[in-house]
Structures are given as C-alpha cells and as structure tokens.
Structure 1
C-alpha cells in the first residue's frame, strides 16, 4: 500500500512539474463567453508607435505578447503549447510554429504520459478585454497538426479564449 502512495505522489509531482514547465499559461476552453466587440479603431494598427499591441490572455488573466509557451488546459495542465516561435503578431491575428504537449491520461491522467505533436498556431477574432475596454485581445486559438496529432483529435482544432475581468478569479 505504501509503495502505491509513493508512486501516486511521484506521478502527481510529475504532472505539476510539467504544468510549471509550460510557463505562462493560456485561458483556452472549447467554448466560452468573450468580451464585447472591439470599438472601431480601438485595435492598434501594426507599427504605430506607442499603441498597445493586441494580447493573448493566460490562465491567471495576465496579458501576453508573443509567449514562448501557452497552457490550453488551465484546470489540469494536460494540454499546452511549448517552443512557440511567432512569425507574425499583428492587431488582428498572430501566427506561430511550435509543439502541442498532451497527456494521454492512460490509464488515468496522473499515470498518463505526455506526447509532443508539431503544430502551427493562429490567434484571431479580436475583442475588447472585459474590465479593460481599451485593451484588445485574441479570443480564438486555432491549432493545425502538421503531422500526426493526438488520437481522436481533428487535424484542425479551435479553442475560445476567455479573458477574466482583472481582479476576478476564474
């Protein structure tokens, strides 16, 4: 019995370490409520000096620009993006290459194994951030698996990004 408890503790620690390794997290969900449509002209045109860039919001509600990693599964850390190399970051869309790291959760998530899949990433659909109407943020994250993806996962997947109002736990 003691050996099983130690093994479970080690597995839980491994999952926690993987979540920590993913770094700045993403607040992505299959569907979610987003902020109000951005008022005309509120998104900063590319290259305009002093203009605030469009951001992507992470799991803790922080604004990120060109993050190197992004957590898709905020609740359990079993799905995230790593080694992101941004080829474009504009006012209305952003594009990157990187890897999707996914836990197979077999036979259950704490005992599962993480697998890495190459992806291209696109962020789009800009809205005003709740509680910060002057801040534009991307509300949709698109993944395209450039090779094999996780089992039962479509080659192209989209996730809504939900921005929590500042000061409100999500």
Structure 2
C-alpha cells in the first residue's frame, strides 16, 4: 500500500470514529432529561456545554473521543451524588489511536462535588466523576479512576 493510500485510510478511520462518538452527545434527542424538566437537580455538563440530567451516554475524552460511557442506568441522582451502572468504551490505541479498537468495560459511575456551575450559577453541576471497573479494565488503569469534570 503506498503512502497516500495509508494516509487516506487513517484519515477516514479517524473521521469515522470521531463522528460516531460525537453523534451520541450532540445528535438526535437523547434519553436524558433536559435541564428544563428538572432545574433543581445537579447537572452533568458535556463536551458541548450542554447540561444534562441522567444521560444514557457521555463522552469522557472530549478531545479525541477515545473514551465514552454508554448504556448508563442511574440508581441515584441528587445534590449529594449520582450513581449509575454502564459500559466504558475505551480505544486501545494499538498500534495508534486511529487504528485502535474500542473495548467495553463494565463500570459503576459516581458523580460527586455538586457546586454552582460557573457558566450558569443558578444551576449546580457535578465536579468529579469516578469509574469503578467491575472486572476487566483498560491496560494500565487502576480499579478506580477519578477525574475532575469541566466547568
């Protein structure tokens, strides 16, 4: 395969992967409750600055879409915390991210640190997300990972 063909194939794969992940967060109406329906509950702010309550999908890696949550089923959602079961789809980036494969990992998701959202101080947003892997987990990941959420 010549160099031009390889470059085209990599570009096409990367664009397809990115479009697939972007569609879940910003495309057709999601199964999440909109803020208008539940203004007193904390919100989860996505990559496009949309405030959501109980989303079924959520992109963790906004820059490249290589980690996302799917099939979220929420058992709790209040000012103290939110808890869901779901799947973390993670790209193994082997041999590099555009050519990598996505693998599913069962996780428990916990949202904490509810505080006023800087962009809309009348709303509260969760400031931290923790993933606890049930069994298998991505290579090099600890059983529990915690990330700050953007505001």
Q: Which position in structure 1 is the counterpart of 2:120?
A: 132
Matched, 1:142 2:130: yes
For 1:132 and 1:118, the matched residues in 2 are separated by 33
Secondary structure of the 2:123 match is: strand
Aligned-pair Cα RMSD in Å: 1.6
Unpaired segments ≥5 residues, structure 2: 27-37
For 2:56 and 2:68, the matched residues in 1 are separated by 11
Unpaired segments ≥5 residues, structure 1: 26-49, 164-170
For 1:130 and 1:68, the matched residues in 2 are separated by 24
Matched, 1:24 2:25: yes
Higher relative contact order (Cα pairs below 8 Å, separated by 6+ residues): 1
Q: CA deviation at 1:51?
A: 5.5
1:78 to 66, 76, 85: 66
Q: TM-score, normalised by structure 1?
A: 0.76
Q: CA deviation at 1:14?
A: 2.8
- How many residue pairs were aligned? 138
Q: TM-score, normalised by structure 2?
A: 0.85
Q: Which position in structure 2 is the counterpart of 1:4?
A: 6
Q: CA deviation at 1:134?
A: 1.8
For 1:17 and 1:116, the matched residues in 2 are separated by 19
For 2:4 and 2:121, the matched residues in 1 are separated by 54
